[in-house]
Amino acid sequence: MAQLYFYYSAMNAGKSTALLQSAYNYQERGMQVAIFTAAFDDRFGIGKVSSRIGLSMDALLFDEDLDFVARCEDLRDSLGRLDCVLIDEAQFLSKNQVRQLTDVVDKLRIPVLAFGLRTDFIGETFAGSQALLAWADKLIELKTICHCGRKANFVVRLDADGKAARAGSQVEIGGNDRYVSMCRLHFKELVW
Ligand SMILES: [Zn+2]
């Protein structure tokens, strides 16, 4: 049975590395995968998923207009088969797109592995993550740690002066800001 998996974490927990390893495992067995990442995340060049430990693979881009069911049907027809769909930056999916991904699993019978942040830099949930937490078959937490050694559930956005942001756009990526994962205690001291 195909299933919808949501791998969630704070920043720098190895989400992209885990995605690339999963894609490699399928490809090594002669299977076809489709990798998607958010269209506005061009930190590493358009259409790539890159991990901090130096691995990268080409990726297709999704924006808010992409229909995952139609796109995955097209890919399956053009490739001859489609064995797994992998999605990086899945927090940026719309609620409707997560619903489409449940159709990719339930109707097309293709497993979907989505990787994303649980919360943004002020501790609020993302639309994509909220829907995935509600509808995925399997929730898998990828853990990383705060500077104090506790598990880091939260993401803090630091500006060039090292001050934590308390407001701003949820989708801002790159620039001179720095994202740091922290435990709830240290997140609250800085942000709330
Ligand atoms: Zn801490």
Please name which of 33, 14, 49 lies closest in space to residue 111, comparing C-alpha atoms: 33
For the stretch 102-139, pLDDT in tens is: 999 999 999 999 999 999 999 999 999 999 999 999 99
In sequence order, what DSSP letters do the residues of 54-100 get, joined into one string? S-EEE-EEE-TT--HHHHHHHHHHHHS---EEEESSGGGS-HHHHHH
Q: What is the pLDDT of residue 66?
A: 96
> Within 10 Å of residue 140's Cβ, how many Cβ atoms?
13
The predicted model gives 71-94 an average pLDDT of 98
pLDDT band at 175 (very low <50, low <70, confident <90, very high): low
> Within 10 Å of residue 147's Cβ, how many Cβ atoms?
11
For the stretch 142-151, pLDDT in tens is: 999 999 999 9
* Catalytic positions, written as ranges: 89
Ligand 1 centroid to Cα of residue 186, in Å, is 5
Lowest mean pLDDT among 43-52, 65-74, 108-117, 177-186: 43-52
Ligand 1 centroid to Cα of residue 180, in Å, is 11
Please name which of 130, 133, 154 lies closest in space to residue 144, comparing C-alpha atoms: 154
Ligand 1 centroid to Cα of residue 1, in Å, is 39
Domains of the chain (ranges; CATH) run: 4-143 (3.40.50.300)
For the stretch 28-50, pLDDT in tens is: 999 999 999 999 755 555 789 99
Ligand 1 centroid to Cα of residue 187, in Å, is 7
Q: pLDDT over 70 for what percent of the chain? A: 94
Ligand 1 centroid to Cα of residue 189, in Å, is 10
Mean pLDDT, the chain, rounded, equals 93
